[in-house]
Structure 1
Amino acid sequence: MERLKTFYYMNQKRSRHPSLSSKALDDLFQNHSNITLLNMSGVRSSGFETSKCTIERTNCVVIHCQVKGFIPFGEMSFPKVIEGHTVDVREATCKFALDPLRIGMKIANHNRNGFGTLGGFIDSTGTFNKVFLTCAHVVCPIATLLQADFTIETGRQEERVFDGTDGNENGPVGVVEKVSFQLNDLSKVSVDAALVGIINRDPVDGKLAEVYKREQIYVAGFSETTLPEFKHGEIETISDDNFRNDVIKVGAKTGLTIESLKYENSCARLVHHDLRLGNNIMRTFCNQYEISPRTDSSLPSETKQLFIDESDSEALVFIVKNNNPALLKCRGMTVAFTFVQDSIQKN
């Protein structure tokens, strides 16, 4: 209602708005981190969401912020008057006209010869406030990952990461901050992971990328009004009590698929032309979980449906808890698929 009244009055005939000085604008942005937009208006509202809501025709300074009534720690409340003009505080955000990053979307390395899936988001205390998880082999050259002593490396910010669907027109969405590629040790769980510092299109919620088909969300127990989302960050480790539960993933290539877990550790020697070294040593992923494919009833007898395919590397794997509303808990992430179309999932 406030928006409708404000829109009506703003379109009435009125005089030209005054403007604020550069000093006043600079002071506001320097002292208030919650500000998203500043402008002048010919109408001012008060008492919003109360029985005494009024709209007054008068010139005022409008301060837009993300959340009204919230004052960041160490800051003061907004001023009531600025250079003789009363202040009206409204909620609003300002961002580029680009979709935010979402779990499950397609990403590409800077040469666009490696594609994968954006995994989960992680709050960081390092160079970047927020990073996302993906596979190291998606964003880094295999030759680099195969260095003899390669375990964890930081400072690889020359490796840029792009939205895999936009042709790089909008610039990189992130740069590689940290990678880990640890294989061959039968006593440990092999790791193929990278943390990508976000430099563009920050995530705004826990909604998953809409890379799935309508029938896929129905089969998994969701609907068009209750789409899958992962906003709380909860995980659930695999145990004797839950290993028989179905698992789902949302990947850039195959969308939302649902399968079951094989409850034993597996090791896989990956077939890749760059994974064979000069001394004929092959790289092996150790102590992984496999996901069994289901028979696809829409295809000829005994045909198995894909759980993942190329470009699905790093898709998060979830168990679905509760029924209304459905709650996703993360169990791991996909790394590779086998020739029998099983999937390998990190523990």
Structure 2
Amino acid sequence: MKIILHFIAQQFTERFREKHIRIWAGEKVIGPANVQTVFVCFYSGSCDVSLEYLYDLKVIYRDYNTTDGESASARAHERHMKCELTPELCDLVNQAITIHGEGLFAEHSNLEAISSSGILSSKSRGLVQEPCVILYCRVKGIIPFGEMPFPTRLKVNEDISIAVDVREGYFSSHSDSQNNDQENAFHHKNNQLKEPLRMGCSIGPAGRCESGTIGPFVKISSDRIGFLTCAHVVFCDSELIDLANITQTDQILKDIVQPPNGDVSAQHYQENLRLCGRVFNAMFRGDWSPSSADKFGIDAAVIEITSRFPNAGAFVAVDESQLEDAGFSVDQPPMFDTGEIMPHPIHRRIQRAVIKIGSETGLTRGLLRLTKGMVRYSIRSGTLKRDKDRQEELTLTMHGLMEISPASGNMNPFCTYGDSGAGVFLIDDDDDNNKLICVGLSFGVVSDGTGLAMPIDKVLTALHRDDGLQIMLKDFDNEELL
């Protein structure tokens, strides 16, 4: 039966190929022991397919990029009530995700991401304060045909288990592209050609319209300088597939421009003036491991700067209101001159405020959680339009991700499309000048506004080259300027 339903779904998808839809068969839960076999038809933006039944099975239509809002409401309640998990509970939740995460992604094709919360959203009890592991899926109440329901609890040991909260949601890597219709006032004020380069500027690969953000500046060996960003910002899908199949790369001949081709200001500058660097090294792995104990998702690239060299750890200008909200001022904007890093502060057993400056949303403030997340990373995440290319699909399970909640009282996400590659920084509480310490590299967002970042120490280690050329964050205060 599963094979037959899969064949029908494929035929239906092919029939409406130009409509950019995706369809799969599932069992809609009607009651405790009652299910109805249905087809779920996902579309993006709009859909003029109106079949009510397919081979006498009901067709349910859902926008691929919308949810029921339950998780966003629960997250807002969690921030308002300050229901952060204690360090001890965080340890247990992290253990549950580490033990069961990979198996859950393997067994449940509709699982999009795994996170955690101090608030459980219960249909019968409402929002209750209870530690839980969140399992995100595109649509609740419909189980892919032939699969089991999600578990209700995850066992940590013989005596302890953690509750499971299933919510609608999905992960998106947040590079900007022509497929993204969102606009933001900050982005369009800050996409001019920058001399010298600054962190937070919008960049992209020459010849294509994707764009992301200049992340922390790095020193390459002893005499070269570059910056970090995400691999998915500078590589197309087919290149990411190739990149995922190797652990290290030789220098990749790919030029980077600022502003990128997709920015409205790009037409005002010749491409040779916009060229600013070339790819030095990159990694795209879901389960990279510096040791046998831990796995980390790495989606990162080092860009060697070839022109407009920075002379300080300065960021692109941001709105005065954003500066004030984050504790800075026009006279004392954020700077990152020291190159100081901190491994994931989860081991410090305290939640910390962090900031990032991305090319799309500017300066945002959030709270770094003590828990780690996992996501299913697909080259089709966030859109159905790429199906028409008929190229190989790549799906990775990304491990060990840092999670960042939007600041309390802020309904906007910590990051969004175009912010890929931005550095994530702690503000040193003991420094009167708001000294920054880098902890991560931003690369994606969950639909409820939770930002995702890779630990900066793991990114730097993963990007060291086999030929001995190593990278570290640039210390402008104590190094001779180029």
Q: TM-score range by the shorter chain?
A: 0.5 to 0.7
Whether contact under 8 Å (2:237, 2:379) holds in the other structure is no
> In the alignment, is the contact (CA less than 8 A) between 1:254 and 1:306 conserved in 2?
no
By how many angstroms is 1:224 displaced? Answer: 1.1
Contact 2:229 2:302 in 1 (8 A): yes
Alpha-carbon distance in 2 for matches of 1:146, 1:315: 23
Q: Note if contact 1:139-1:161 (Cα within 8 Å) is conserved in structure 2.
A: no
TM-score between both structures, scaled by the size of structure 2: 0.47
SS where residue 183 of structure 1 aligns? strand
Aligned residue number for residue 440 of structure 2? 332
Gapped runs of 5+ residues in structure 1? 1-96, 298-303
Q: What is the deviation of 1:323?
A: 4.6
Deviations 1:86-108 (A, max 9, x none): xxxxxxxxxxx962001111111
User: Could you tell me which of 322, 337, 344 is aligned with 2:452?
Assistant: 344
Q: Aligned partner of 2:300: which letter?
A: A
Alignment of structure 1 residues 6-17 onto 2, 5 Å: none
Q: Percent identity?
A: 28
Question: 2:346, 2:371 within 8 Å by CA — same for their partners in 1?
Answer: no
1:211-256 CA-to-partner distances (Å, cap 9, x unmatched) read x221111011111111100011111221443641211111111111
CA apart distance, 1:284? 1.9
For residues 329 and 141 of structure 1, what CA distance do their matches in structure 2 show? 31
The equivalent residue for 2:225 is 130
AA aligned opposite 1:213: D
TM-score relative to the length of structure 1: 0.64
Equivalent-residue separation in structure 1 for 2:367 and 2:355 (angstroms): 9
Using the alignment, how far apart are the partners of 1:278 and 1:98 within structure 2? 36
Give the 3-state SS of the residue equivalent to 2:426 in structure 1.
Answer: strand
Find the aligned partners of 1:207 and 1:272 in 2 and give their Cα distance: 32
What is the match of residue 173 of structure 1?
276
Query: 3-state SS of the aligned residue for 1:216?
Result: helix
1:171–1:207 distance in 2 versus 1, CA, 3 Å: closer
Amino acid at match of 2:334: P
Q: 1:310 offset after TM fit, Å?
A: 0.6
Give the equivalent residue in structure 2 for 1:294: 407
- Please give the residue correspondences for 1:123-272 in structure 2 after superposition, counting only pairs within 5 Å: 123-125=219-221, 129-147=224-242, 149-164=245-260, 165=263, 166-167=265-266, 169=270, 170-184=273-287, 187-210=294-317, 212-237=318-343, 238-241=345-348, 243-272=350-379
TM-superposed deviation, 1:194? 0.7
SS at match of 2:323: helix
**Greater relative contact order, per chain length (Cα 8 Å cut-off, separation 6+):** 2
Q: How big is the shift at 1:144? A: 1.1
Q: Which amino acid aligns with 2:240?
A: L
2:425 and 2:438 in contact (8 A); partners too: yes
CA shift, 1:334, in A, is: 0.4
Contact 1:105 1:251 survives alignment (8 Å) = yes
Letter in 2 for 1:329: I
CA–CA distance in structure 2, aligned partners of residues 235 and 109 of structure 1: 27
Whole-Å separation in 1 of the counterparts to 2:393 and 2:313: 44
Q: Give the superposition deviation at 1:295.
A: 5.0
Name the counterpart of 2:475. Answer: none
Aligned residue type for 1:214: E
Moved more, 327-336 or 186-195: 186-195
* Aligned counterparts of 2:314 and 2:288: Cα–Cα separation in 1: 36
Which has more radius of gyration? 1
Q: Which SS does the other structure have where 1:200 is aligned?
A: coil
Give the C-alpha shift of residue 163 in structure 1.
2.5
Other-structure match for 2:51: none
Relative to structure 1, the CA distance from residue 235 to residue 242 in structure 2 (aligned partners, 3 Å threshold; closer, same or farther) is farther
Instruction: Give unmatched runs, 5+ long, in structure 2.
Output: 1-192, 456-482
Q: How many residues were matched structurally? A: 243
Q: In the alignment, is the contact (CA less than 8 A) between 1:295 and 1:305 conserved in 2?
A: no
Deviation at 1:270?
2.7
Contact 1:243–1:261 under 8 Å retained in 2: no
Q: Give the distance between the partners of 2:214 and 2:394, measured in 1 at CA.
A: 30
Contact kept, 8 Å, 1:163 with 1:173, in 2: the verdict is no
Instruction: Tell me the alpha carbon deviations over residues 277-330 of structure 1, each in whole angstroms, 9 at most, x when there is no partner.
Output: 988762221110111123546xxxxxx212101110111001101352110000
CA distance in 2, matches of 1:224, 1:281: 44
RMSD: 2.6
Secondary structure of 2:395's aligned partner: coil
1:113 maps onto 2:209 in alignment:
yes
In structure 1, what is the equivalent of residue 197 of structure 2? 101
Which residue, out of 311, 314, 331, partners 2:418?
311
SS of residue paired to 2:212: strand
Contact 2:288 2:298 in 1 (8 A): no
Residue 346 of structure 1 deviates from its aligned partner by: 0.6
Q: Return closer, same or farther for 1:107/1:281 CA change in 2, 3 Å cut-off.
A: closer
